[in-house]
Chain A
Amino acid sequence: QKEVEQNSGPLSVPEGAIASLNCTYSDRGSQSFFWYRQYSGKSPELIMSIYSNGDKEDGRFTAQLNKASQYVSLLIRDSQPSDSATYLCAVISSGSARQLTFGSGTQLTVLP
């Protein structure tokens, strides 16, 4: 079974620190990887997508992909209280070009 695993947390970091969120996946043939942010009571919002090995930066967010080790991570620099949310990792597995498999999410709290 194709799976996406995340630490459920909760993860707490002080304001201004770097928050590091990790995700592993079981299908070695996966090609597309995504990070979603979900505030309590709201719908998931796409914040990063990454398709090739290495780092991808967008403002305070950096996604890192290592296909050999089958993990993808999200770094949030200069964390703000407004970053407090649940972060969902999602993967498009091989043979499922239009289906995303989601992890159960990591709850992040940024302490003022």
Chain B
Amino acid sequence: NAGVTQTPKFQVLKTGQSMTLQCAQDMNHNSMYWYRQDPGMGLRLIYYSASEGTTDKGEVPNGYNVSRLNKREFSLRLESAAPSQTSVYFCASLSGGSSYEQYFGPGTRLTVT
């Protein structure tokens, strides 16, 4: 049981390049999330998917797109990277039922030069 996995762990991009961050969970959770974390700003929600086939914008969606490929996988795409997107990106999934406990992947550290 790996929980939430993310690839890659580190990435350096040049301005204007594109890339996709991959995320998968094996806990059979319906809801999945992408956050970014910048120093002093806590975790900010980029996009989330309440269930397979649905996605919604969070607090900071500009410059990003997402795909909920199936129940397990939720990817984040940067079409044209900008230095302002330098950050640590976390994927998470949320347990259902009566508890709403969120579990995080190990993160991707992205630098855009």
Contact = CB atoms under 8 A, between A and B. Distances in A.
A98 B50 contact: yes
Contact residues on A (Cβ < 8 Å of other chain), bracket: 20 to 34
A43 B89 CA distance: 10
B90 A44 contact: yes
A98 B31 CA distance: 8
B43 A92 contact: no
Nearest to B107: A43
A80 interface: no
Contacts of B101: 34, 46, 49
B106 A43 contact: yes
Contacts of B99: 49
Contacts of A34: 101-102
A97 B94 CA distance: 11
B107 to A, nearest CB: 5
B104 A45 contact: yes
A104 B43 CA distance: 7
Contact of B43 (A32, A42, A46, A88): A88
A105 to B, nearest CB: 6
A88 B90 CA distance: 14
B53 interface: no
A99 B31 CA distance: 10
Interface string A1-42: 000000010000000000000000000000010100000001
Interface of A: 8, 32, 34, 42-46, 49, 88, 90, 92, 97-100, 102-105
11 contacts: A43-B104, A43-B105, A49-B99, A49-B100, A88-B42, A98-B50, A99-B58, A100-B45, A103-B42, A104-B41, A105-B42
